[in-house]
A and B are shown apart, each in its own frame.
Chain A
Amino acid sequence: MPNPAIVIVGAGAMGQGLAEAIATQGSELYLLDQSTDKAELGKQRIAESIDREIRRWGLTKSDKKAILARIHPTAEYEVLKEADTVFESIPENLDAKRRMLAEVEPYCRPDALIVSTTGTLSITRIARYTLRPERLVGMHFLNPVSQIPLAEVVRGRETSDSAFKRAVAFARSLDKQWIEVNEYPGYVTTRIIVPMINEAMHVLMEGVASAEDIDKAMKLGFGFHVGPLALADMMGLDVVNHWMNNLLAELADHKYNPAPILRRKVLAGELGVKTGRGFFDYDERGNRQLVTIQDTDLEREVVA
């Protein structure tokens, strides 16, 4: 019996989302991390994510059993030997990725496709850490991966056409629409959404409208599923700030300057959903608290 041909290295948020999406689509996979505990924890988080989806009527209990049965947590690099597709989804740190690839690559088949899910680092640079840079390709998914039907398939400088095509075929097999992206900071999604979020913060800061009303206007006016400020809270304000700084550094245009209110909130540790407070307040389960008028007024005073 053949072993799962897909290995995801890194059982963090992106690895979990990807594993859930792949297993939901019906394929088996290994979820590989430094320890079995970490890998198992990743699988446990996937189970929790599926439970949320069951409460939203999207999946059933029998779906859950079937999906989880396809995910095999492991800490054994040996599983890489038979893989035809290896996903790299470890934290966004170039040095960590370099070390990981050095450890992982010797186990990989020469014809294995290596996919980096990085959203912030250069595919070309990551590819240089491998023996075969032409088989490394980027696939950028948005969280929650199993819900969002988009994959940005990213060509690095040396990505081969065949590697690119295999990544596209994989995106299709996950029922994702895909777009082709030539490597450049922020690709398409991040490059456009982050400055828009930043602009919403300026509008708030300048007292043009309340946070609630800004989000309301963008949701109703343009059919956004989530308003820009609520989206910033979900992404994490530190992440948004990091992104603005990154775009500023890479593209050297002052329009990527993080809004002062963003810098200030990050300094104060108000990072959005994960800390319970960002532009809105959240309970421990991440549910939005109703904003009172006073909060909104206070917000205006603070930023005035």
Chain B
Amino acid sequence: MRILVLNCGSSSVKYQFINTDTGSALAKGTVQRIAMAGASITHKPTGKDTVVIESELLDHTAAIDLVVKTLSHSDHGVISSMDEIDAVGHRIAHGGETFTDSALVTPSMMTVLHDCIELAPLHMPAMIRGIKACQRVLSDQPHVSVFDTSFHHTLPAQAYVYPLPYIFYDEYRIRRYGFHGTSHKYVAQRAALLTGKPFDQSRIITCHLGNGASITAIKDGQSIDTSMGFTPLEGLMMGTRSGDVDPAIILYIMDKEELSRREGNSLMNKHSGLAGVSGISADMRDVVEAMESGNERAKLAFDIYCYRLTKYIGSYAAALGGLDILVFTAGVGENSPQARTRVCSTLGFLGVELDESLNQKTRAVEAEISSAAATVPTCVIPTNEELVIAQETERVVNSEQPQTAVR
């Protein structure tokens, strides 16, 4: 089956066109600066040269229209018409408690997704816009939502219920949902294959360190704990998000600076993390560069980031009762040997030890980077959420009737 996989941001659309029979991408690309000056599409057909096309793009519909036109273009396209797209898979940040599995897009699903906006306000509006736009452009194809939350539906109650009055769980479904599920699942499976351990009989910790960052404890193939919670704000320090803080702090600041709820929210989601501490950038590469040229605050940001991650790995190893594989993935996890070195430097007691030369040269490729003395393998696995989304989409399309109500 040939599946278009979409990941819609507020001003960007990432896409891959994947043949699930071979597991390979026929083309991939990114549309950037939607609804802004200088909008463009960067399109990489597999085996051909990358093309960059500038085009004025007013909204997501125009962007997706351009994606489809580019895919079926006579020169750099990979199909002859849009009919050759069999289905569309959408990466969706939040499925609430309703969606414990990937599912066909239906009107009732759209209603639930709207209800999920307040659970992931940074991501859901663009993703919903993306689905609507894509349904307009590809109206004959089935559309499937694959949720960042659904891998974590196996969390036990002790991990997902917060120590607040229980009524809030009953009343508002306030609980840990967890995110990046597709990525955690994929990299854990790949790492198990790479190290020759059985996925469904191993204790694995996966660190997804992108702009948003989360860590998951996987026992016998199931997610048993994860650091993102009710929203993607909890847990690790991230590019612009604070992660765990004493919740009284935000109330205190909001009171001192007379901030509205919206401003308080934006303070923690957009002005904190690496960017907030370093004052330089939300991007780890910039922070490391500044640190190496002597910037104290960049160093502090790096220190906090790694220290907090190390603590989480320790606590998840305790939750799992031991550790069989440690995995790093996404932007920082795949490309920052400095962060990996620092994070692992005090994990010797668990049996984690890196081979520094392997670590240094491993960037964005699948590799085991542990030393010969390590008893627990550490792996770098480039995440491939798109492939998982394509596979999930195929599974749903093959198994479900379009009329099936999802709720």
Contact = CB atoms under 8 A, between A and B. Distances in A.
Interface string B242-280: 000000000000000101101110110011000000000
Contact of B266 (A4, A26, A59, A65): A59
Contacts, number: 49
A70 B57 CA distance: 12
A69 B271 contact: no
A58 B35 contact: no
Name, among A53, A57, A58, the residue most crowded by chain B CB atoms within 10 Å (CB to CB): A57
B35 A60 contact: no
B56 interface: yes
Interface in A56-91: 56-60, 63, 65-66, 69-70
Interface string A1-44: 11010000000000000000000001010000000000000000
A1 B260 contact: no
Contacts of B11: 66
A1 B62 contact: yes
A58 B266 contact: yes
A58 B267 CA distance: 7
Contact of B35 (A28, A53, A59, A147): A28
B58 interface: yes
Contacts of A63: 270
B53 to A, nearest CB: 14
Q: Chain B interface: which size bin?
A: 20 to 34
A14 to B, nearest CB: 21
B261 to A, nearest CB: 10
Given A2-B58, A147-B260, A57 B36 contact: no
Given A1-B62, A147-B260, A66 B36 contact: yes
B37 interface: yes
B20 interface: no
B371 interface: no
A57 B267 contact: yes
B10 interface: yes
Nearest to A58: B263
Contacts of A147: 260, 262
Given A58-B266, A59-B266, A28 B58 contact: yes
A195 to B, nearest CB: 26
A1 B59 CA distance: 10
Contacts of A60: 240, 266, 270-271
Given A1-B58, A66-B11, A57 B35 contact: no
Given A1-B58, A57-B259, 11 more contacts: A1-B56, A1-B57, A26-B35, A28-B58, A57-B257, A57-B263, A58-B259, A60-B271, A66-B10, A66-B35, A70-B35
5 contacts: A56-B259, A57-B257, A58-B263, A69-B35, A70-B35
